[in-house]
Structure 1
Amino acid sequence: MTAITKANSVIPTTWHSLAPLWQGKETEVQKGLPHTQLAPAWQLLLLGDGSPTRHLQLLTGEPTEVDVIDMSLIGVDLDGAPDLIQAVPEPRVRRQVWLRTASGQRLAYATSWWEASHVDEYLQNRSLPIWASLTRLRTELYRDVQGIYYGNCTALESAFEQTGPFWGRHYLFWHHGQPLTLIYEVFSPYLTKYLGAMQLDKTDIKSNRTC
């Protein structure tokens, strides 16, 4: 479902969430997952508190660029987002982007929700990745990963040109002890090119053990 702006461009009125086959909460995030469920390299990407755009740049050797596909004022609507959206003050703006290499390969999808009165302050250049925007402002942040998902999404299969299921997560950015934005991210299986398989089988785990 879409809405037509005054400029006759098409703006999405929904965002792409996974239909979970499995999901975990903060307890799973903190203790980590069995390697037969999620391989160590993928756990570093999904469960760590580092910048995904920076990680993607290091993995691919290319700058991580952003295609903004939606910037919508949603007001007080909960927008089908994780419950933590209620930590972000109203009214809210929803931002949707593709994260891709400079050569055009889509690597991730992200939706974020911001307090409308502050979004322009922190995203002065909306075409930059959030990490790049906040780094330029020397903003001190804490990335608080609260949930992880493994599931399907037809729209993301088409956009990534990859078959699901996909891994995703959601987290809050904290700034000066206050929630700044809620972010929901899904990563493309294309990243197996750099990170290896998403899961290890028991044979792989045994072969990695040393005396």
Structure 2
Amino acid sequence: MTRKKIQFIKNWEYNLKKDLKNFNYLPSFIPIEWQILLTNDGSFTRNASIINNSITTIQLCKQNSIYTSRKKIKNFISYHKYQTVNRITERYVWLTQEKEKIGFAYFQYLSNRYKMSYLFHNNQPVGSSLIASETNIHRDLENVYLGYCQELESSFECIGPLWGRSYNIHVETDTLLIIHEIFSSKLPKILIT
């Protein structure tokens, strides 16, 4: 899992940006417990910890920094603006509770003017780090999706399909993080029991 990129195959994807008027009306085939988990605006790791009265930690798989020559990327808040990025830090982690893998997350930290090394504590989820820092952020949910991945299913010890989501975290008007999360298909049962 740490040496090669996972192959997640999306069978279905719902772009929330294109369909803002229907954001509150997700397709009815999505079970209500998944709608709540996928569209919740709070920190997933914090909510999971509260529901289970168990701390959600991460298990670091891979982290690397890519230095760019002042790469310009489209700013996701102001679509007509671009922001300059000097370094992108990629991180792949397992989200765990009591040693059980409940999710897999991949994120890109777009280093610009914000120095947020606290985001990379080896056993603390990004959401927990942001809450602890009291950084004023805005989260922008982009997509929810359904798919399969043999590597993730094996690690979760369950068969798919697997639900996931992608979102951006902004500080002021700059995109700080791009996050992709894929959850174990056992997750609703884990959180309720």
TM-score by length of 2: 0.80
In terms of mean alpha carbon deviation, does 153-162 or 55-64 score higher?
55-64
CA contact (8 A) 1:141 1:173 kept: yes
Paired position in structure 1 for 2:96: 100
- Pick from 57, 69, 75: which aligns with 1:65? 57
The structure richer in strand per residue is 2
What TM-score, normalized to structure 1? 0.74
Partner residue, 1:171: 167
Structure that is richer in helix per residue: 1
> Which stretch of the first structure deviates more once superposed, 113-122 or 138-147?
113-122
Alignment CA distance shift 1:136-1:41 (3 Å): same
Aligned residues: 178
What percent identity do the matched residue pairs reach? 28
Provide the rounded CA distance (Å) in 1 between the counterparts of 2:84 and 2:145: 21
Structure 1 residue 194, shift from structure 2 partner: 4.6
Offset at residue 95 of structure 1 (A): 0.4
- 1:30 maps to 23
Tell whether the 8 Å contact from 1:45 to 1:55 is kept in structure 2 after alignment.
Answer: no
- Structure 2 unpaired stretches of 5+: 69-75, 77-81
The answer to whether structure 1 residue 12 and structure 2 residue 7 are counterparts is no
Moved more, 50-59 or 164-173: 50-59
Question: Secondary structure of 1:136's match?
Answer: helix
For residues 128-174 of structure 1, the C-alpha deviation after alignment (integer angstroms, 9 at most, x for no partner) is 11111112211111111101110001110111011011000100001
For structure 1, the 5+ residue unaligned runs are 3-10, 77-83, 197-211
